[in-house]
Structure formats: C-alpha cells, structure tokens
Amino acid sequence: MAELDYLISGAAVFDGATIEPKQLDVGIAEDRIGYLGEPLGASASRRRIDARGLYLCPGFIDTHASTGLGYRFPHAGDHKLFQAVTTEIIGNCGTSPGPVAEFLVPIMEQLAVQIGFDFDWRSLGEWFQAVQGYGLPLNVGTYVGHSTLRQGVCPGVQASRDQRDRMGALLAEAMRDGALGLSSGLVYAPGSFAGTAEIVGLARVAAARDGIYASHVRDEREDLEESIEEAIEIGRRGGVPVLISHLKAGERPNWGKIPRVIETIERARADGLAVNFEVYPYTATSTKLRTFIPKATLAEGPEGMVRKLRSGRWRRRCVDWLRRRGTEFDAMVLITDSIEGLAGNSIGRLARARDRDPAHLTVDLLLQDPDAWIVYHCISQDDMEAALLWENSIVCSDSWSYPVNAPRRIGDPHPRTFGAFTRFLERYALRRQRLPFGEAVRKVTSYPAHWLRLPRRGRIAAGYCADLVLLDPARVRERATFAEPRRLSEGTEYVWVNGVLTLEKGHLHDHKPGRILRNRTCRHG
C-alpha cells in the first residue's frame, strides 16, 4: 500500500449508510479514501490525526443553496464549511447562474453592479469555467432555473411555442454542460405565469439527460396540497424524479397539512414515482416581500410592479389581497438594510409605531425597495418536525449565497445560512435524540447523494471521494440567531474536500479544492 496523505485514527466512524458507528482507521490518498481497517503504524501516512472522542462522517451535502454568484468573493464557503458541508447544490427555486439569454442580460449586468461581481458568461458551461478558474471552497452542482430560462427568452406573461422551444434548447445545452436537472419557483414571477404543460415539456428535456426536477411548488399555504399534486403530475408526465423544495405549510390556517402531504407523497412513491422532499429545521421562512402580493402585479417585473403600486386601483387590490389571505404582519420581519433603520422590525410593529394600516405599509415598503427581504415566522413546529423526522426526507439549508459574501450587502440572512446543519444535529440527534446520530448523518450524506445521482460521494467507503469531516459531539452547536445570524457554527474540527484539509480546529486554510459536479451523462470535467 502506498503512503497515505492522512490517517485518521480512533474516531467513531459514521459511514453515511449504516446507523451504528464503526471503529476503523480511515486513510486519505490524494483525493480518495484509500484505506479502511485496523490501526496502522505511524509510517503508513504523512500525517496521523488522533481523533479519539470525535465522530468521522462523510462531508454533508446541502441540496438547497442559492444562486452561486458569490464564489468569487473571499470566504465564500466559510459558513458552510463550519457546518461540515462539503457540497452544495445551487440553482434552486427557478433561478440559476445560467444560461443567460437575451432579455436576462441587462438584468444580470445591473445585478453585477449592485452586488459587485464580474458578469462574464452566458452559457452554464462558461459559468463553470469562470468559477473553476477562480477556485471553489467546496463542491458545487447546479440545476437550471425555469425562471432563468423564461426571463431570458420571454419578456411577457405568455410564452409562445417558439419561446418554449427556445427554453427547451437552452436547457438541453445546459444539461450537456453538466446541469443536474431543472428547478422551478412556481410561487415567484415569472415562473408563476407558466402552466403545468410548460414545466412538463422542460422536465422531459431534463429527463432525457438523466436529470431530476426540483420544485418550489406553486403555493405553500392554502393551496399547498394541490401544488404538491401538480409537482407529482409533472414527475409522472415528464418521466422525471421529483424533489420538492423545503416543504412547509405556511400560516396558521394551514398548520396540520404536512402529515397529509407526506401521505400523498408516500402513495405516489408506492405507485412507482421517485418523489421526495427537502426540509430545513426552522419555523421561519425567508423570501422577498413582493412574494405576498398578487402575481399579476409582477407581470412586467419589479419596475412594472412599482408603476402599478403607485396607482390607487392596484394599491387597493394589493391591500385587499393581504387582508383577505390573513397575512400575519407581526410575524413578518424585515431583514433588508436598504431602508435605513427598519431591519429587525416586524411590519406589524412598524405599522403601530407609525399609526398605519399594515397592509398599506407593506405597499409603501415595496415602493421604497421592490427587492426587500423578510423573515416570516409562519410554520408550525409540529409540521416542521413531522417533515424533518420522516425517514425519507433530506435536510437542507435553503440558504443565501451571494448576499452573504458580496462586498455590497443587502441585509442580514436567515440564521439557517450559518446554522442549519449544526442545528439539525444538535437539536435532533445529539441533545433531544429524536433520531439516531447515524440516521441524521444519512439524511445529509448518502441519501442526498443517491437522490442527486452523485457518484462516489456521501459515504465513507474505499475509493470514494475524500470529502470527510471530524465532529466533536460535545461541541456541535448552532450559534447563529435571528438577532445575530452571521455567527459561525461550532463543533466541526476538521474538514477535507477532495482530500485537501480546508478546516482545522477553527482555522481555515487558504485552499480551494472544490469541483463542479455534473450530471452522470456528462463527459466534461
């Protein structure tokens, strides 16, 4: 046996596939796991890590991250590495870094100026080349966003046959470049203007290249159950596996729906459809405030929304909508710092302080900042835990990427960005012991690798990629809070990405060993 680069000795090894830990030494040779077995002598490796009292696990896979526009910024992956994440999947909720077609170019150019990144690509393949040239702190795979496709070729609400064909051609090219599948954000404009048939057509394109369909469904509140049925229908008609994004039932009238949704998913699975969902361990969402007004307001984009909201007719329509749907304004907290002095306040509190109707104030805030972000405390703890503890669910972060690391901030993130995985382990496997630690590890390693069809990732096994983490079970702790969401997690002692030591006892090494992970039919990279 050739000399190992690292030999990890004495750890309790959770291999990602089995529940009980094993007592094994694990060796790293270049970018692979090169040894599993009995203890070896000191001469067997260049460096031996004494890991007694620690847990060795495969690196975690975050199946639901944001757009990936922040990888060129310093410390782009710090908050993920401190949570033991070695792979993240971006391009979710219908928005991806590419392909960037004609009508999307000026929007991307504007965003590049606002946030501070170089916009020098059009195709997804060109984006892959750009970020690989700069270097990645962890492994990255991406979906192609339906809204990105639609916004690039269709400036209006209705997509013509030619425009749908153009979307399909762009998706096919991106799949050849290595995209993992198609994502949709059917609650957001412009994705919300697409009918089921449009998504089915694109899902078939993704399926032809062994891709999957990840869906932020059309509604996560009163029409949640119908929206889940639509996602299942798309999977059946499109011949594609379905991963439902960050499952939740928002607002009190909808609490209690998650067990029924799980039953629907279980029936579809029993009928032969590959369908699953992700969930994050919080009872608050985070999204743009404009998500809560009628979709027709957004038919001409954010600028058109502002023009409409300045008219009395559209203001009344939005106010009536917000009131009728029972929006919980006291639970809706602004996190955008573009409106000075308002971040951290709920809309209900601001309305009382200003003696304003909260629905009218919401319209005023959108006029001040059409891109305002909020945190919305609207999920039942029981519903969230029912989803989290279901044996087949996948745990994710649903986290921002570019606002966290960009030189120009847009406000504070949801604490899930810095703490989702440590919170999950701490609260459900280590402290309250709602599920075995090995089962918790499976939910964030081998199982998502299986769903995403990532070869040789997510397990500690001979020949697998050496994405490994050493955790101190006594110190695993989420430190991020809603008041201070940018605090790094604790308890992740060592992280290797493709065999390269990137985090060591709280110290980050200046390495960028991450790789682009492409769909398994792609021969690039």
Q: Who wins on pLDDT, 160 or 116?
A: 160
- Segment 68-82 mean pLDDT: 90
pLDDT tier for residue 524 given thresholds of 50, 70 and 90:
low
Q: What percentage of residues in the chain have a pLDDT greater than 70?
A: 99
Least confident of 144-153, 268-277, 325-334: 325-334
Q: What CA–CA distance (Å, rounded) separates 270 from 257?
A: 20
Q: Who wins on pLDDT, 421 or 1?
A: 421
Cβ proximity of 28 and 43 under 8 Å:
no
Q: Compute CA distances 190 → 70, 111, 202, 298, whole Å.
A: 23, 17, 15, 8
- Segment 281-295 mean pLDDT: 94
| pLDDT value at 403 more than 80 | no
What pLDDT was estimated at residue 161? 97
Least confident of 249-263, 339-353, 377-391, 418-432: 339-353
What pLDDT was estimated at residue 315? 95
Cβ proximity of 146 and 159 under 8 Å:
no
pLDDT tier for residue 75 given thresholds of 50, 70 and 90:
confident
Neighbours of 383 (CB within 10 A): 22
| pLDDT value at 66 more than 90 | no
What pLDDT was estimated at residue 210? 96
Least confident of 51-60, 165-174, 408-417: 408-417
Strand partners for 192:
none
Q: What CA–CA distance (Å, rounded) separates 426 from 131?
A: 33
Q: What CA–CA distance (Å, rounded) separates 80 from 405?
A: 12
- Segment 75-96 mean pLDDT: 96
Closest to 329 (Cα-Cα) out of 356, 367, 298, 301: 356
What pLDDT was estimated at residue 499? 98
- The residues near 372 (Cβ < 8 Å, ≥ 6 apart) are 288, 289, 290, 334, 336, 338, 339, 365, 366
**Residue 29: both structure tokens together:** 């040779």
Residue located via tokens 């940018």: 486
Give per-residue pLDDT as tens, 365-381: 999 999 899 999 999 99
Radius of gyration of the chain (CA): 23
Q: Based on DSSP, count helices (H) and strands (E) in the chain, helices before strands.
A: 17, 23
Give per-residue pLDDT as tens, 459-502: 999 999 999 999 999 999 999 999 999 999 999 999 999 999 99
| pLDDT value at 114 more than 90 | no
Give per-residue pLDDT as tens, 173-221: 999 999 999 999 999 999 999 999 999 999 999 999 999 999 999 999 9
**Residue 237: both structure tokens together:** 């008609």
Least confident of 69-73, 444-448, 449-453: 69-73
- Segment 274-282 mean pLDDT: 98
What pLDDT was estimated at residue 525? 47
The helix (H) or strand (E) run that includes residue 35 is: strand 32-37
Q: What CA–CA distance (Å, rounded) separates 89 from 296?
A: 31
- The residues near 66 (Cβ < 8 Å, ≥ 6 apart) are 90, 92, 399, 400, 401, 402
SS (HEC) of 118-180? CCCCCCHHHHHHHHHHHCECCEEEECEEHHHHHHHHCCCCCCCHHHHHHHHHHHHHHHHHCCC
Q: Is the dihedral of CA 197, 201, 206, 207 positive or negative?
A: positive
Q: What CA–CA distance (Å, rounded) separates 197 from 184?
A: 13
0.85 surpassed by pTM: yes
Neighbours of 74 (CB within 10 A): 10
What pLDDT was estimated at residue 523? 60
